[in-house]
């Protein structure tokens, strides 16, 4: 019974992530549907059992041009980041690229016998390129830790939408450019307008982009979905390449608290941390009346 439920749940979660319909109102409805057929306590018990056989790692992207801009002055707050085309989806800096190589050396040394089964990467260029420079040596040889992993771009791991720096490039650029460059499967990113949060009609350089800042409840909803899919998959060793606000949300901190993770840093998301997040958010977003 439990195995049948887990297979069905995994299939539903995967279908949702791969679909073209990702608006937050639909995520709310989808999460409510998951409560049908299993009690809250039973679901949490299943999750706990599955996590006994999982190892989940989190990597924050390396320094981007936005991070560099923030560090130039204590007055450079996100609200002052210019809402223009050239500031969309900032690239890694030279320092950021070097950070990925330092992380690569650290992974090779400290995690010599680790081999990931799956890697899920935010579709923003700073995250995709962090994975690429980390996973591949200068001769384009992939390091052992990622050699056998399936690598997928997943927009459920994108940054909290706050500035135009959190808006992604076009779907074509992400799929045909960034993902192909680093051999990343782009099957999970099928909707341009949703994950970019951008209106494309009559958009010209220098115009203000219409966007809505995300609150942490919205991030929680998409993280529940991707975490449950990971938990009920057959993969044992999983890596998430994402952003500081995603890590902050997973650690149940609010937007004003420190995220406690540096650029190009890898941390383990242990069972206790994941269970704490899901025990707090599942009643709120799935079983709430």
Fold of 2-285: Rossmann fold (3.40.50)
Q: What is the pTM of this model?
A: 0.94
Average pLDDT over residues 208-228: 85
Among 38-47, 174-183, 204-213, the range scoring the smallest mean pLDDT is: 204-213
Query: Which pLDDT score is estimated for 236?
Result: 98
Q: For residue range 105-150, list pLDDT tens digits in order.
A: 999 999 999 999 999 999 999 999 999 999 999 999 999 999 999 9
Region of 197 on the Ramachandran plot (φ > 0 left; ψ -120 to 50 alpha; else beta): left
Instruction: Name the band, by pLDDT with cuts 50, 70 and 90, for residue 12.
Output: very high
Q: For residue range 204-213, list pLDDT tens digits in order.
A: 544 445 556 7
Q: Do 220 and 281 touch, CB atoms closer than 8 A? A: yes
Separation CA 221–CA 182 (nearest Å): 28
Q: For residue range 236-249, list pLDDT tens digits in order.
A: 999 999 999 999 99
For residues 216-247, one letter each, b for 16 or more C-beta atoms within 10 angstroms of the residue's C-beta and e for the rest, the string is: bebbbbbbbbbbbbbbbbebebbbbbbbbbbb
Separation CA 25–CA 213 (nearest Å): 15
Query: Which pLDDT score is estimated for 232?
Result: 96
In the chain, the percentage of residues whose pLDDT exceeds 90 is 70
Query: Quick one: which of 192, 194, 195 has its CA closest to 157?
Result: 195
């Amino acid at each position: 019974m439990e195995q049948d439920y887990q297979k069905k749940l995994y299939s539903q979660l995967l279908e949702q992530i791969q679909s073209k319909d990702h608006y937050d109102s639909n995520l709310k409805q989808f999460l409510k549907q998951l409560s049908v057929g299993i009690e809250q306590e039973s679901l949490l018990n299943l999750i706990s059992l599955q996590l006994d056989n999982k190892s989940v790692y989190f990597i924050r992207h390396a320094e981007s041009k936005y991070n560099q801009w923030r560090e130039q002055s204590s007055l450079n707050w996100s609200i002052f980041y210019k809402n223009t085309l050239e500031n969309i989806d900032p690239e890694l800096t030279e320092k950021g690229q070097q950070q990925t190589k330092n992380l690569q050396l650290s992974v090779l040394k400290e995690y010599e016998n680790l081999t990931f089964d799956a890697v899920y990467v935010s579709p923003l260029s700073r995250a995709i390129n962090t994975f690429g420079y980390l996973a591949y040596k200068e001769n384009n040889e992939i390091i052992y830790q990622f050699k056998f992993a399936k690598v997928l771009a997943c927009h459920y791991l994108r940054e909290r939408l706050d500035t135009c720096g959190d808006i992604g490039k076009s779907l074509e650029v992400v799929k045909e450019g960034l993902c192909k460059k680093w051999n990343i499967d782009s099957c999970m990113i099928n909707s341009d307008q949703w994950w970019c949060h951008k209106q494309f009609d009559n958009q010209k350089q220098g115009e203000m982009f219409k966007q809505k800042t995300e609150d942490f409840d919205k991030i929680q909803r998409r993280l529940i979905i991707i975490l449950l899919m990971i938990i009920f998959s057959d993969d044992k060793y999983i890596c998430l390449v994402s952003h500081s606000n995603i890590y902050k949300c997973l650690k149940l901190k609010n937007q004003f608290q420190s995220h406690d993770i540096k650029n190009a840093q890898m941390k383990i998301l242990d069972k206790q941390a994941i269970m704490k997040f899901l025990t707090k958010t599942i009643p709120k977003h799935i079983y709430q009346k």
